[in-house]
Amino acid sequence: MSSNGVRTVRPTSAGQQAALQSSRLPRPELVADNVWAIAAPIPEGSVTYTLSYVLLSSDSACFSILDPGWDSPGNLEALHRSLGLIGLTLEHLSTVVATHHHPDHLGIAATLRAMTGARVVLSREERAVLTHQLSPELRSPASYSRVLEAWGVPAARRGELTAAFARPPAFSDIEPDLLLDDGDVLDLGSHSLTALATPGHTGGHLCFADNERKLLYTGDHILPQIHSGFGLGSRPGDKPLPDYLTSLQSLQRFGGYEVLPGHEFRFRGLDARAAEICKHHLRRTQRIADLLPELGDASVWDYACRLHGAGWPRLHGFFLHAALRQTELHLELARSGLLEGLVARCPEPGTETNTGDFPSVSAGAPG
């Protein structure tokens, strides 16, 4: 339900919804002709699994996997088990597709390629994002120390953030076999997927539309209940929050499709859910804007303390970092002069998405 009581999401998988409510992995289930949903366990964090999608050829001689999940022995074991229940084995895997580079989506792709020879597919922009995320300059402790200073993080809290930063990244470098751009059609035999650039969560995130089956694979761009973070992997010059809002609105033409997200459960109600997510983020930006007369040039830390209120003391490590980063992005938008226009173009949850485009603010950004 949205904040105004309008039902925005209609679950289409009772099994996935029940599994989510009981904190267990959902069983493999048939979504559509030659499309299966399986669960890839995540070894850490509050989200316990990724929804992966197995796309079979018409004769079941080979198959592809979209967002295969974490690179861990547990996930590999779960993958063998799930495929066995469908009547498949990894030796017939032909293609691994990832919506973005995060370890719970792309993670095990390199391992699967080494085991089977399957090709790996990623967006061209996301490949550049991954390179930047692993660059020595970005991973430098001195560089991160400057970030913490710029955010105004108190000395007493920098240690935990630095310790979290010092952990090796959970994702690794990989050279895809095929790079996709917005609008490219990925031919997977009996499946034809149109790549849709949806930057925001990461700079090169892709959704995929199966126009024959009326399915939309959304990765972490649109989830039925969770509000995905944004700016969790971008490059200098990117504008993650405005780009995310623009990307939400760009999917309006798929309002009648069933949504196959990267987590939680399958659903219908894309337009209303996208509008709800848009309103959620714009409300946070408006709260920051309302604080500008009082806080002025105060630090990101000061704004974050006020934005998160009573929940602020409970944030630690990576989650504290993510809250600061996203507060920084809300603050940038609040100061940009774009907020009023974005609010005017964001429809009310429970209504059809309007046809006006959000203004693009990433023209000239790298890539």
What confidence score (pLDDT) does residue 360 get? 29
Please state, in angstroms and rounded to a whole number, the distance separating the CA atoms of residues 134 and 90. Answer: 29
Are 49 and 179 within one domain?
A: yes
pLDDT single digits (tens) 138-153: 888 999 999 999 999 9
Please indicate, yes or no, whether residues 236 and 105 belong to a single structural domain of this protein.
yes
Cβ contact 367:360 at 8 Å: no
Residue 273 covered by a domain = no
Q: Domain for residue 357, yes or no? A: no
105-117 pLDDT per residue, tens? 999 999 999 999 9
* Domain presence at residue 194: yes
Residues 226 and 163 in one domain: no
Pair (68, 21) in one structural domain:
yes
Query: 121 and 217 in contact (C-beta within 8 Å)?
Result: no
Both 157 and 258 in one domain: the answer is no
Helix axes 155-166, 317-336, angle to 10 degrees: 110
What residue numbers bound the domain in which 326 lies? Answer: 139-168+284-345
197 contacts 206 by C-beta, under 8 angstroms: yes
Whether residue 224 sits in one domain with residue 326: no
Question: Are 119 and 193 found together in one domain?
Answer: yes
Please give the model's pTM, rounded to 2 decimal places: 0.91
CB 23 within 8 A of CB 9: no
Domain count, the chain: 2
Query: Do 264 and 328 share a domain, yes or no?
Result: no
Strands 185-187 and 192-197, by their bridges, are: antiparallel
All residue ranges of the chain with pLDDT < 70 are 1-7, 347-367
Domain identity same for 227 and 205: yes
Answer yes or no: do 153 and 177 share one domain. Answer: no
Contact 91, 63 (CB under 8 A): no
C-alpha angle with apex 132: 226 to 244, nearest 5 degrees?
Answer: 35
Answer whether residue 279 is part of any domain: no
Give the pLDDT confidence score for residue 114 in this predicted structure.
97
Q: Is residue 355 part of a domain?
A: no
Q: Do 157 and 224 belong to one domain?
A: no
Q: Do both 151 and 224 map to the same domain?
A: no
Q: What is the pLDDT of residue 367?
A: 23
Chosen domain end from 268, 299, 333: 268
Task: Give pLDDT tens digits for 282-318.
Answer: 999 999 999 999 999 999 999 999 999 888 989 998 8
